[in-house]
Each structure stands twice: as C-alpha cells, then as structure tokens.
Structure 1
Amino acid sequence: MAKTKIIKRDARGVKMSLGYRITDVIIYALMGCVGIITLLPFLYIAAGSFATDRELTERAFFIIPRVWSLNAYKYSINNGNILLGLKNSFILTLFGTVVNMVLSTTFAYPLSKKHFKGRNFFLNMVIVTMLFSGGMIPTFMVLRAYGLYDSYWALILIGAISPFNMIIIKNFFQELPMELEEAAYMDGASEFRTFLTIILPLSKPVLASISLFYAVGYWNDYFNAMIYLQTPSKYTVQIMLRNIVLKASAISDIMMDYYDQNGAPPDKAVKMATTLIATVPILVIYPFVQKFFTKGVMVGAVKG
C-alpha cells in the first residue's frame, strides 16, 4: 500500500518548504521573546504595587510578592484624588476624541476627491502645519484671549485635527471603490448622506485605529493639562499622578489608621500603584480595536 505524502501548506494554500517552516518557527520564537521582555516590566510594576517596603528593598526583581498589601492603593485613593482624575480624563478623552474624529473625517472626505478644486492647495496647507506651529506662548495668548483658559476646550481645540491622522483617513477614503458612491448618487443620495451611510460604515478599520490614537493622546496628555488647567477639580489623571508622586515621599507612619499591619506604603509602591491605575483603563480599549488596527493603519498609509 502506497504511503500518502503529507505536504505542509500555509493559510493561503501555498506549499511550505522545510526552510520556510524553520524560518517561521524562528520568527515566532523571537517575537515571543520580545513579547515576554515587553511584558516583564509591567508585571514587575503590578507586583511592586502590592509589595511592602522590605520586599522592594531586598528583591531587585519579582513578579509575585511574598506579602500582599493594598496600602499603596489605599493611599492613592484616599489622599490623591485619583478617582476624580480618572473621571476628568475619561470625560476629556471621550468628548475630545469625538470632536477630533468629526473634524478629521469631514476634512479628509473632500480632500480624498481628486476632482475637488483647490485640493492640492489645502493639502499643502495641511503639510505646512506638520512642519511649523505658532509656538507655546502665542497659543497660550490666543486661548486666553478667547476665554478658553482653564477649560477642557483649551486641550481639545489646540489639537482638534492631527494632520498625520487626517492624511491617513484621506488615503483610506481614496481606496474605497468609486462605484459605490456613483450608485448612491444615481439613487438620489446627497454627498452628506453618502458620507454617513456608505463611506463611514466601510471605514471602520481606520476610524477605530485613529480614534485609538486620539484617545491615547488625550489620556496621556500631561504638559497641556499642566499649562491650561488651573482649577484642581478639573485636573486630569496625569496631573493627579504628579501630585501623588510628590506627596508620596512624605508618607508617615503616623497615618496608621489608613493601613494594615504592614505600616505606611513605601513611596516606590505608591508610584507603581498610581501608574497601574492610570494605565489599565486605556489598555482595556486595545482588545476591542485590535482587529481593526493593522488593517486601518496599513491601508490608510498607502500614498494616494
């Protein structure tokens, strides 16, 4: 009886040679090592936030603490207004991302039309803004003159449209089949209705990717919030983190009522706990947009 020869093939049905399979294994092994190396610092921060002062001093690196303590989190919540900062950052991130996406998509759509008169002129103006800016002091003076100082509008309007992100969206729109728009025009749809009912639903990959870029930018924004926000009740989570870190070095065992038998938390554990609190919320978003991320960026990055 003749033996059946088994041929290895990839997902596309292409025959895989022995060298190709070895290369594939090496690449996956290297990427796995890179992933582990990337994950280890985060695991150390997570473990250190639950550790005691003695363990942080004696052990240079660990991912599982011997003694678990919630004192660092108790201090961050009770003395740092971290929850208020999370609330403010969430509101700013949500509202700012919506404003950015509305302006970016409505600006990118007409520029994606090659028959649009003045298209090259507006594209050149966009590119100029990527190379030059008004500067920090003129921007501050303009925002203050318009009464936007100490408001979230100051953080939103100074970066309402990112030229780089807008160009990616424009290039993605250009890759969509023109026949779909022509069919909509023949059915009597206006430009605005075509944009809402056809273009945007087909652009979910790039919209999800760019929305993530904008959201992460707002969530991690520290410098602009420090300059344009003055009222403590409006501070974002990054400003709250700064205040907590500055106060952590002055933690005293006199405040024993807040803590357990392990005593006051070390300032290093407080820094790790606040870092984890500020990082986890934005990390939760990634699994929901991961399937759109690569497609949206790669297709939108094609020069058109």
Structure 2
Amino acid sequence: MVTHAPRPTAELKAATPRRTIGMRDSRGYRVFRVANAAALIALCALMLYPFITVLAQSFSSEGAIKAGKVSFLPVGFNVETYRAVVGDGTFWRNYANTFTYTVVGTLIAMVLTTTFAFVLSKPHLRGRNLLIGIAVFTMFFNGGIVPNYVLISALGMKNTMWSIVLPGAMSVFNLLVMKSFFESLPKDLEEAAQIDGLGWFGIFFRIVLPLSKAIIATMVLFYAVAYWNDWFAAFLYLDQSDKFPVTLFLRNLIAGASTTASEGAAAAGTTTAAVSANIQAVTMILTIIPILCVYPFVQRHFVKGVMLGSVKG
C-alpha cells in the first residue's frame, strides 16, 4: 500500500486561487461622481428654495414681505397670521372637506384600479385588447370642459361630493402600471390556488393583493396627492363655499390678493397686499403638511412599486 505524503504548505498556497482585488475607480469616474453629486445637490436646492421661501414668509412680518427682504430666514418673526388662519372656521371646514374627498376618492379609485387591472392582466380574457384600447383612448381624448359640466349637472352630481370624487376615479396611467405589475406575478401561485379550490375572488384577495403592497402604496400616494391638490373640479362643480376644498379656499385667497393688487391698491393698500401674501404663505404651509406627513410612510415602497410596475410594457 502506497501512501502519498501531504502537499507542502507552500504548494497548497500556490494552488489556492488568489482573491480578486477590486480595481480602483478611474480619475474620470471620480470626477463624474463629484459632478453628479454637485448637480443633484444644486437641483435639490433649486426645488427646495420655493418651499423654504414660503415657510420663511409665513413667519415674517408684513413689512418685511412688502420690502422683499424675506428669502431663507424669517424677518420680523410673526405668528399672528397662523393664529388668525387657525381660528378661521371656514378654513377648517374646507380642510375637513379636502380630507373627506381625498379619503373617499382614493378608496374608490383603488377599488376600481386594482380590480380592472387584475382583469386586464389575464391574457385569456375575451375582448382584453379592446378594453385596453378603450382605456388608452381616454388618455388622449376627452369630452372637454363644457360636455363634462353638462354631464355632471344632468346626473345630479353638481354641488355634491361625487362631482369631485367620481370624474377622476381612475387614472389610466396608474391602471397600466398596476396591470404590468400583476402580469409579472408568478402564474404558478394562481395555478396552485386553483388546485386548492380558490376562485378568482379568493386568488385576488388572498394572493394577489398581499403580494402587491409596494404597488398599492405607490398608487395610494398618487391618488391621494392628486385629490388633495385638485381645486379645478371644485371650481367648476361647486357653488356652495361650505363644500369647497382647502385648495379652492387657497386659490380664491390668491386670486383675491391678485385682484386687489391689479386694482391699484399701491397707494393705500400695500400693507394689505403684504398681509395677503403672509396669509397665502401660512395657508400654503398648512395645506401641504398632511402630504408631507404621508410621504415618509410610503417612501420606501414608492420607487420599488414604480419600478416593479414598469418592468413590462
């Protein structure tokens, strides 16, 4: 019996492949990263500048706003306007209306979008291409303002919440993104569920929706922001001020200030114009606070949801 001597340690080390050492970034790539970071920082600063200016104006005195001294920091610290706006019952009534419209509208929109997208994601559906074509057609063509106004009035929805909620209840863009996401889900899960006796409703509620948290969070954010910021539908279909959303309240406030300025109140109304600018800034800040509070909770799902829904055309 022949025994083989163990390999020497040096020979073992020579036979062991060396660990690949990462290459250093080239000088051009480092320059690109620095330039890219500088460009992104400049872009972020450019986008944040209006918000910071409005925030500074909301805490500034009327005289400082009139003199154009407010940029990044408040001048002549003032919280009286906040107290006045917070104490305005009309503002809070319109605020509650906006909250109601946003919650109800987003709920209806999500029900319609998820169910329709799930149906369109099935290749065996008869008339699937026709339904997709009809949906895409509405992205490029609509009846126009006057026919829509006549339709809303004829349906008896004028001066009601439904005139705000229903016309925009489904975004075709969101529908197509969610349809693409549903198509990317593994088909084996549905087949296994059908073998276990689940119907289409069971598959949708117990399998598809739990796997779609990222895209659902993204669509909720899209719809909520759209309903929260919308004022034009209320401007067209609502005549009663107690049903206005807060965005229309803000629009009327800005329009009133612009009208006052255009009528030549420079001699006796410059202070009034400054007060109006201060009220506008305060109202804007109070209006965007809820959306700013929503973003942190869905931000981690936002990019993931959009990218997952954009994999397929």
TM-score range, shorter chain: 0.7 to 0.9
**Post-superposition offset of 1:30:** 1.9
**For the Cα contact (< 8 Å) 2:181–2:215, is it kept in 1?**
yes
Give the number of equivalent residue pairs.
282
Once structures 1 and 2 are overlaid, which stretch shifts more, 50-59 or 215-224? 50-59
The letter of the residue matching 1:17 is: D
Matched, 1:53 2:62: yes
| CA offset digits 1:118-166 (Å, max 9, x no partner) | 1111111111111211222222222222221111111111112111110
Change (3 A) 1:113 1:75: same
What TM-score do you get using the length of structure 2 for normalisation? 0.83
Q: For structure 2, which runs of at least 5 residues remain unmatched after alignment?
A: 1-19, 261-270
Tell me if 1:274 matches 2:277. no
TM-score norm. by structure 1 comes to: 0.85
Residue equivalent to 2:172: 163
The corresponding residue for 2:250 is 241
**What CA distance in whole angstroms lies between the structure 2 residues aligned with 1:224 and 1:145?**
16
Q: How is 1:211-250 mapped onto 2 (pairs within 5 angstroms)? A: 211-245=220-254
Distance change in 2, residues 1:38/1:246 (3 Å): closer
Choose the corresponding residue for 1:176, options 177, 185, 198: 185
Checking the alignment, whether the CA contact within 8 Å between 1:8 and 1:16 is kept in structure 2 is no
* Corresponding position of 1:255: none
1:246 positional shift? 5.0
Aligned to 1:114: 123
CA distance in 2, matches of 1:207, 1:155: 22
Corresponding residue of 2:48: 39
Query: Using a 3 Å threshold, how does the CA distance of structure 1 residues 24 and 190 change in structure 2: closer, same or farther?
Result: same
The CA RMSD over aligned residues, in Å, is 2.4
SS where residue 57 of structure 1 aligns?
Answer: helix
Measured after TM superposition, the shift of residue 17 of structure 1 is: 1.9
1:128 and 2:174 matched: no
- 2:213 matches 1:198: no
Partner of 1:12: none
Match in the other structure for 2:96: 87
CA separation in 2, counterparts of 1:292 and 1:73? 34
| Residue aligning to 1:297 | 306
Match of 1:69 among 78, 95, 106: 78
- Which residue identity is paired with 1:234? K
Tell me, in whole angstroms, the C-alpha distance in 2 between the residues paired with 1:112 and 1:207.
16
Give 1:33 deviation, angstroms. 2.1
Deviates further, 154-163 or 164-173: 154-163
Quote how far apart the aligned CAs of 1:212 are.
1.0
Q: Aligned equivalents of 1:135 and 1:162: distance in 2? A: 17
Given the superposition, is the C-alpha separation of residues 303 and 50 from structure 1 closer, same or farther in structure 2, using an over 3 Å criterion? same
The amino acid across from 1:18 in the alignment is S
* Separation in structure 2 between the aligned mates of residue 290 and residue 173 of structure 1, nearest angstrom: 21
Equivalent position of 2:25 in the other structure: 17
SS state at 2:42 partner: helix
Alignment of 1:250-261 (within 5 A): none
Distance 1:8 1:95 in 2: 57
Question: Hey, what's the Cα distance between the residues in 1 that align with 2:149 and 2:235?
Answer: 12
Which one of the candidate residues 86, 101, 105 is aligned to 2:110? Answer: 101
* 1:35-57 deviation digits (Å, cap 9, x = unpaired): 12211221111011111122223
Structure 1 residues 30 and 227, CA gap change in structure 2 (3 angstroms): same
Q: Which amino acid aligns with 2:146?
A: I
Deviation per CA, 1:87-129, whole angstroms, max 9, x where unpaired? 1100100110000000011001011011111111111111111
**Residue of structure 2 in register with 1:4 after alignment:** none
